[in-house]
Amino acid sequence: MVEDKQAQLLINSYDNIEQLTSRILESNYTAADPLVPALRFRGTVVQAGERGTGCKITGWQRNVSRLRKMDVSLPTIITMDVDSDQRIENIELDPGFAGSKGLICSHTYLNRRLKTLLQGRVLDNSFIHRVKQENTHCAHLFEVLSGLYSYYTMLKANGFMDLHARGYAYEEEVIDSYADDGSLNSLGTHVCMGREPLRYKTSLQNILKKVGFTKNGALTITKGIETDFSLNGISSVHGVVNDFTGLSGFLLRCLGKVRRQILPGTYVRMFNSNLYPGAYLGMLVQAVAIRLFNDNYNYIMHAVTALQRAEGRPLCVGALGDQEEADRWFPGFSFSELV
């Protein structure tokens, strides 16, 4: 039992933004379950440009899990220079990027893809459609970019007051999961500069006894799962889910509670949360597979691949089978670049 614990942020202090990238990649972390850690850190930093023109935005994510009896850390860091007209002058995927499928999650290809999609474009309402997974070819890129957009839009709706006051603004979140007698619990902490930390907890009761995997590796719910969500120690959402549509609905209700705390008085769609259904379900599949299959790397990757494919089509580069498939779905991707 870890009821008295709280999810611990990775960065927390932003006094030295110049070292942000190295701190994301190298900072130590603590886990609610040290034997089977399952954490996702994420955040956004917006720095004012020189003489008040434009800004530099850094969106980031770092996933930690246990594979092959070792802690594996998978970071995604994206920096973006935006001019005073909100036009994206430059965008870069940091070379420290690591996807769940190793080399096939090609930094070279994905960085090139980002530049093709976004460089020279305006950071406006069309941004979210442009960075969807089917366009970026990577779920992590979508999660980081959509979170970055939500926080930037929040600052914009408030007249960039936090940015003007200190020269930078930030938000950071962690979700930390642990198993307890067949149940899976996730502790979350979310902080926006200038606001009190928000803490939440999701509980999926007896989920490890009520799910299974298909032959293709897809996670299925076999019996109704009792769910609970508490916010700042107060139970806020409760129900029973029978399938992943129901689970997504539960998560959206949770996200609505968080949104009213994080984004008060603004109508901004909240992608900058680990509770966003697509992000949460990805974490859930891996956390369940690791626990049910005793760190069987091949089967865990089989389950992850099921997330990355739909009706025989790869949604992420990590799910590609061969060059013929790449040529069809991801033109410009070459397996020869991985060597």
39-67 confidence digits (pLDDT tens): 999 999 999 987 667 899 999 999 998 88
pLDDT at 2: 45
289-333 confidence digits (pLDDT tens): 988 887 788 888 898 899 899 888 999 999 999 999 999 999 999
pLDDT at 4: 61
Q: Provide the b/e sequence for 145-161 (b: ≥16 CB within 10 Å).
A: bbbbbbbbbbbeebebe
Which residue positions in the chain have pLDDT lower than 50? 1-2
| SS3 state of residue 120 | coil
Contacts of residue 200, Cβ cutoff 8 Å, sequence gap at least 6: 187, 188, 190, 229, 230, 231, 232, 254, 258, 275
Nearest to 144, CA basis, from 216, 51, 72, 76: 76
Do 64 and 292 touch, CB atoms closer than 8 A? Answer: no
CA–CA separation, 116 vs 41, rounded Å?
A: 27
| pTM, rounded to two decimals | 0.94
- Which residue reads 């007698």 in tokens? 181
pLDDT at 159: 85
- Residue 243 amino acid letter: D
